[in-house]
Chain A
Amino acid sequence: MDIEDQKISGVQLTQLMICFICGSNILLTVSMTVAKQDIWLAILGGVVESLVFAIIYIFITKKYPNKTLIEINDLVFGSFLGKLVSTLYIIFFFLQGSAYLRIITNFFKSQIMPETPMFVLALALLIVCAYAVNKGFEVISRLSMLFLIFLMLEVAFVFVTGYSDMKFKNFLPIFDITMTDFIKSANIIGTTHFGEFVVFLMFFALLNNTSKGKNSNIKIYIISILSGGAILIVISVITIALIGNLAPIDNYPYFQAIRIINVRDILTRFEIITSINILAMVFFKICVYFYATVSGIRKILKLSSQSFLVLPIGIIMINTSLMLFKNPFEVTQFATEIFPLYGLVFEVLFPVLILVITQMKKLFVNR
């Protein structure tokens, strides 16, 4: 069977989508600086916002169950405009993948391996990503289950071992932020953690026939958003309960929170396990974006195979990731100020346009 025709089941896609949400955990600090101890409320707000986004995606996937985003664009906008929009999307996916590669490189560079060159860190991760992308989408989504279990075990373990150090009064007073700050932080979470789901419009066509039931896409979206949001809330609760008012000033608050867990001097310093989890989750994020870029290029140029694209695009991705931002501060600035608006163009504007144009076409054809 050709790699490009691999089919996946709905369960696998759901797992991958949950992993995809958790991949943004490393960016939790961005909204935490705004929302402080009310971060869990902001996450709830983000979940609600993303459910609104999901309605759009659900309608699109229902209208075009066997088409990828590239093909939908061609159908909706016509072949020239459609190609243009698709190109923009591919650039968006590519840049997002590069940005996440940079974010995880920054994390490892600043927290774990300060003297290793960034290029080496990026290369090491991207080789694995390229291998996974080359093996196909089914491999990535199957792998996600393994790491999802690992993540859940880790979070549960941290919760149990850190329970004695947790102070739940850190959450009081509830809703101590202004409405603007709340909307701002909820929007950051909605767009970065959940809004990036737009990339999965590329993959719903890969669902196998048994999973293409009547409402399977609704189920997939709702389950993955809710369980991803639940994991996010647990992680932010652990963070705030453990380090309280230090969380908004930390670059990697969850990581810092785990560093202080100490069970009778026997179980200490297991933050490295967390870092492996963070790495694994971001790995899925990069893989999904990488695969979307590669398969998007294949679809747009109507190529028969995509495996020869993986290496060149991977190499460009490494270099882009190193050039995209001058320093980690720019990443934070990008995530706080630019992405919540820039992302909305791809996450909401184009999908809504697709829906509106589809409906209008239907009206005119019916007449």
Chain B
Amino acid sequence: MKYIRKPIKLSIILLALFVLAGCWNSNEMNDLAIVTAFGVDTAEKPDEISLIGQIINIRNIATAEKSAAGGDVFWNVEITGETVFDALRNLTFINNRKAFGHHYQILVVGKEIAEKGVIKDLEHFARDHGDRRTVWVVVADGKAKDVLDVKTELEPINGRYIAQLVEVRTATSKAVGVTFQNFLQRYISKTTSTFASIVRVIKKNGVESLELNGTAVFKKDKLVGELNGKETRGLLFVIDDIKSGIIVVEPENQGKTSLEINKSGTKVTPKITDNGVQMDIEVKLKTYYAGDTEDFFNVTKKEDRELLQLYANKVVKEEIEAAIKKAKSLNTDVFGFGDAVHRKYPKQWKGMESNWDSIFPDIKVSIKVETSIDSSFNITELP
């Protein structure tokens, strides 16, 4: 018995090697259609939707990196279906491989379908086990197909290019970066309105390129309006999502000069008074003096710093006011003021929740901005 055991054990271990080495359903690289971007559009038939899957053409990637002359790196497959999932599976009619959506980075929503209401078409992406909610959601100004068709420089794969456009938004903070997770969270909240960046196709000398410009604002799941760059930054100041950006200040009788935002923090405190709801917004801003001016300010001097800080406060305040004005005119609570009131006044909130739409446009806002200039980079003063 003692002598038999060892060989039996050994053979079991060896057999297990074969069984444990692979998964049940293996996905080989050459059997996959890796999708980098999904787009949703309205179809010609009113009760159908059109889905665009941007599939990486793996064969051409290696050649494209060597020379620009190679074939297309991505292939946009457009197909209609009664629902999104139906369309996704219909892809196999025209594409020989099943779409492998685990690594897509961006969801592009066509403007038309966004105006009709988009959550029914995006729900699948939240439900499917392979999809991640860290993908970016953007709204195309026009058809999603047009945006995804643009051939881009530096990064040949269009989907990745748009994702990177969204990622570098922090340089200006004049565009938002909304992940699908944020999008859903704002949608689920009963009063907060959700939003997403807008991607536009711009044509110059016959060459198409992409531009991230402005913010699409949704009421529930319907697109109702847009914020421009200035209003978008106002929105980002309120929701405390500013990473960096340039503030151009223009003191009276003097030229323009620029300050770079280094750090920003915002506190929003709701107050319920006799005259209704009031929001106190306090922004604390740390900036670097970046020059670019004809009237050289000497930021080593306190007076010059204070002058610049005063005007920077004004600029930020204007941006926030513009955002609030626009949001009020659209009656969309993009700032999450409703949730802020809910957090602070849970008891009073019960009466307010159902008629927040009539309360929101009459909210009073007091804005306090405090800017400090902390550095002047390499030089102190140009005489």
Q: Which residues of A contact B (CB under 8 A)?
A: 110-111, 113-116, 120, 169, 172-173, 176, 243-246, 249, 256, 259-260, 262
Contact = CB atoms under 8 A, between A and B. Distances in A.
Contact of B129 (A111, A176, A249): A111
B363 to A, nearest CB: 19
Q: Closest 5 interchain pairs by CB? A: A173-B346, A172-B343, A116-B24, A115-B25, A245-B188
Contacts of A256: 133
A110 B129 contact: yes
Contacts of B134: 259-260, 262
B188 A249 contact: yes
30 contacts: A110-B129, A113-B24, A113-B25, A114-B129, A115-B24, A115-B25, A116-B24, A120-B24, A169-B343, A172-B343, A172-B344, A173-B342, A173-B343, A173-B344, A173-B346, A173-B349, A243-B181, A243-B185, A244-B185, A245-B188, A245-B189, A246-B133, A246-B181, A246-B185, A246-B188, A256-B133, A259-B134, A260-B132, A260-B134, A260-B181
A260 B24 CA distance: 26
Contacts of B24: 113, 115-116, 120
B186 to A, nearest CB: 9
B15 interface: no
Given A169-B343, A246-B188, A260-B181, 4 more contacts: A246-B133, A246-B181, A246-B184, A249-B188
Interface string B311-351: 00000000000000000000000000000001110100100
B23 interface: yes
Chain B residues touching A, range = 10 to 19
A115 B23 CA distance: 10
A245 B185 contact: yes
A189 B25 CA distance: 37
A176 B181 contact: no
Nearest to A256: B133
Contacts of B344: 172-173
Interface in B1-50: 23-25
A172 B344 CA distance: 8
B127 to A, nearest CB: 10
A113 B25 CA distance: 8
A120 B342 CA distance: 48
Contacts of B181: 243, 246, 260
Nearest to A244: B185
B25 to A, nearest CB: 5
A146 to B, nearest CB: 20
B346 A176 contact: yes
A252 B73 CA distance: 37
A84 to B, nearest CB: 42
Interface string B337-373: 0000011101001000000000000000000000000
A115 B132 CA distance: 19
A114 B129 CA distance: 9
A246 B132 CA distance: 14
A109 to B, nearest CB: 10
Contacts of A244: 185
B265 to A, nearest CB: 14
Contacts of A116: 24-25
Contact of B132 (A110, A243, A249, A259): A259
Interface in B131-189: 132-134, 179, 181, 184-185, 188-189
Contacts of B188: 245-246, 249
A172 B342 CA distance: 8
Contacts of A115: 24-25
A181 to B, nearest CB: 14
A94 B185 CA distance: 41
A110 B128 CA distance: 9
Nearest to A114: B129
Contacts of A172: 343-344
Contacts of A246: 133, 181, 184-185, 188
Contacts of B185: 243-246
A114 B25 CA distance: 9
A176 B129 CA distance: 30
Contact of A113 (B23, B184, B346): B23
A8 B129 CA distance: 41
Contacts of A120: 24
Contacts of B25: 113, 115-116
A262 B135 CA distance: 12
Contacts of A111: 129
Nearest to B184: A246
Nearest to A269: B132
Given A245-B185, A246-B184, A259 B133 contact: yes
A161 B129 CA distance: 23
Nearest to B25: A115
A247 B216 CA distance: 26
Nearest to A271: B132
A47 B64 CA distance: 61
A113 B130 CA distance: 10
Nearest to A250: B126
A110 to B, nearest CB: 6
Contacts of B343: 169, 172-173
A260 B134 CA distance: 6
Nearest to B130: A114
Contacts of B349: 173
Nearest to A113: B24
A245 B343 CA distance: 13
Interface string B190-217: 0000000000000000000000000000
A114 B349 CA distance: 43
Nearest to A110: B129
B188 to A, nearest CB: 5
Contacts of A110: 129
A114 B344 CA distance: 43
Contacts of B129: 110-111, 114
A71 B163 CA distance: 66
A226 B179 CA distance: 37
Contacts of B179: 260
A120 B19 CA distance: 12
A116 B22 CA distance: 12
A76 to B, nearest CB: 45
Nearest to A172: B343
